[in-house]
Structure 1
Amino acid sequence: MLFYIFAALAVISGIYMVLTRNLLYAGFSLLVTLLSIAGIYVLLFADFLAVTQLMVYVGGVLVLILFGIMLSSRVSDKSVLSENTNTVWGPTVAGLILIGLSYAIIKANVGALPWLQIADTNVLGQGKSTVQSIGIKMMTDFVVPFELASLLLLIALIGAAYVATDKKEEV
């Protein structure tokens, strides 16, 4: 039952996010969508994905988008509106994708998957948390790609700070 509540929240807020013209409302609707997806991850016992969803998307990306929308609004006493006036193709394509994904989910027979039946009988019984096994793999087998990704993110952060600085031309 809780899954259906989170799924309905994700779908309704996603639809509202696509259809609204107010960018700030769209950003807050994205917040509800991302939080409900994190709730679905918790229900699936994917604790690492849930924490990653909260930390990276909700904590980082969404806050960055919301601050960008709120701080870049130079027009006073007016809400920031999207300039998109095409309201036919977006909902049509989204509806077709929804119909196709719904058909695939119904035909998939997800309840018969063997790993799901095993997880149903042994829910956090003797098994370790996924965070522990991912952390061990990350710090042993994949330490070089992890450090390269962190270096790339640091370079992107320095570049973003440089682009955001106020450049005054000296004569």
Structure 2
Amino acid sequence: MDNGLWLSLAFYLLAATILGSAFLVVLLRNIVHSVLWLAVCFVSLAGLYLTLDADFLAAIQVLIYAGAVCIMVVFGIMLIQRADMKQTNLFNKQTKAAAGVVALVLAVTGYLSAVTQWGNAKTPVPKETVGSLAELMLTKYVIPFEVAAILLLVALVGAIIIAKEVKG
């Protein structure tokens, strides 16, 4: 098989995995299982980035989303301490409104996909994206990078303090 056929097969397999796991995230009643399927969705999306030769985005997807975000959600679940975890992801009465929003988003996405000119643009891709990004982040943008890290740390500590308020 040629390389294009393998990439097409990988794309369709990863797309099916992403859609299936996203549906399970929404439809499962156990919130811990929903978080696990969310991690599957994020890792599959990283695989999709790899088929597009975006290795840095794939690594960031796994590290930040599949790792950190899912762990933060699990910590949030553990801090809530519900008695019955099987009934924590209950359905609400906004299903019709959500269906309308989803239909609108699909219609707009379909329209934009239909009117977009999908040419064979030969955009030059740098050979080493990670090295050039690392050089920028650690030289020119080191202050904003560190400020963002401190801000995230403060937000995390504040969320833990709010979640674990001391009762007198």
Common fold: TM-score over 0.5: yes
Kindly provide the amino acid, as one letter, of the partner of residue 37 in structure 2: S
Q: Report the Cα distance in structure 2 between the residues aligned to 1:21 and 1:76, rounded to whole angstroms.
A: 11
> What is the deviation of 1:111?
5.0
Q: 2:20 aligns with which of 7, 12, 29?
A: 12
Q: Report the Cα distance in structure 2 between the residues aligned to 1:93 and 1:77, rounded to whole angstroms.
A: 29
Q: Report the Cα distance in structure 1 between the residues aligned to 2:24 and 2:84, rounded to whole angstroms.
A: 25
Kindly provide the amino acid, as one letter, of the partner of residue 5 in structure 1: L
2:162 paired residue number: 163
Measured on the aligned residues, the alpha-carbon RMSD in Å equals 2.5
2:98 paired residue number: 90
SS, match of residue 112 in structure 1: coil
Point out where structure 1 has 5 or more consecutive residues left out of the alignment: 120-126
SS, match of residue 95 in structure 2: coil
Point out where structure 2 has 5 or more consecutive residues left out of the alignment: 1-8
Under a length normalisation based on structure 1, what TM-score does the superposition of the two structures give? 0.77
Render the CA deviation track for 1:72-101: whole Å, top value 9, x for unaligned: 342247442325233222133213312332
SS, match of residue 114 in structure 1: coil
- Does residue 136 (structure 1) correspond to residue 135 (structure 2)? The answer is yes
- Does the Cα contact within 8 Å between 2:29 and 2:90 map onto a contact in 1? yes
Q: Report the Cα distance in structure 2 between the residues aligned to 1:157 and 1:167, rounded to whole angstroms.
A: 17
> What is the deviation of 1:49?
0.9
- Does the Cα contact within 8 Å between 2:50 and 2:58 map onto a contact in 1? yes
Under a length normalisation based on structure 2, what TM-score does the superposition of the two structures give? 0.78
- Does the Cα contact within 8 Å between 1:73 and 1:80 map onto a contact in 2? no
1:102 paired residue number: 110
